[in-house]
Amino acid sequence: MSKPKQPRRIAETEAQAVLSNVRVSPRKLNLVAGLIRNRPAADAVATLTFSKRRIAQQVKKVLESAIANAENNHQLDVDRLVVSRAEVGRSMVMKRFHARGRGRASRIEKWFSHLKIVVAERAQEQAASTEQGAA
């Protein structure tokens, strides 16, 4: 006998991908996540492709995974996908020490983060209105 199946925590028109324990501080990761929030998925991928930040390539992989999940697992239209949420959370913190003068030590904290990207399929009339606004 197994546990009953859990209901989906996100809507039927959404798909997500999660990256756990990535070695970057949440503050820095949130700057990159802010670049793609509420943008069409294709624009978000292009933005991350040409970003100079080191972590942008890993964020791009997670976004592409969310897009693939939407297409393959939930049969959503890729052309109408929008990054509805890009959530950044704290993970563990490695504590290290740095030797200082006169026998003292100072603490170094190496932060880790979690990232969750949720893409949603927007309605047809919304897709048309945003494309007209961009043109």
Task: Give the global pTM.
Answer: 0.87
pLDDT value of position 116: 98
pLDDT value of position 68: 98
Average pLDDT score over residue span 110-130:
86
Dihedral of the alpha carbons of 41, 45, 20, 13, in degrees to the nearest 10: 10
**Phi/psi-derived region of residue 21, left when phi > 0, alpha when psi is between -120 and 50, beta in every other case:** left
SS3 55: coil
Average pLDDT score over residue span 50-62:
98
**What is the per-residue pLDDT across 82-117, written as a single tens digit (0 to 9) for each?**
999 999 999 999 999 999 999 999 999 999 999 999
Instruction: Please tell me the distance from the alpha carbon of residue 40 to that of residue 53, in angstroms, as a whole number.
Output: 20
pLDDT value of position 131: 65
Domain assignments of the chain as residue spans, ordered by start? 14-134
* Rounded alpha-carbon distances, angstroms, from residue 8 to 11, 13, 14, 17, 101: 7, 11, 10, 14, 55
Q: Which CATH number fits domain 14-134: 3.90.470.10, 3.30.300.30, 3.40.50.620, 3.10.580.10?
A: 3.90.470.10
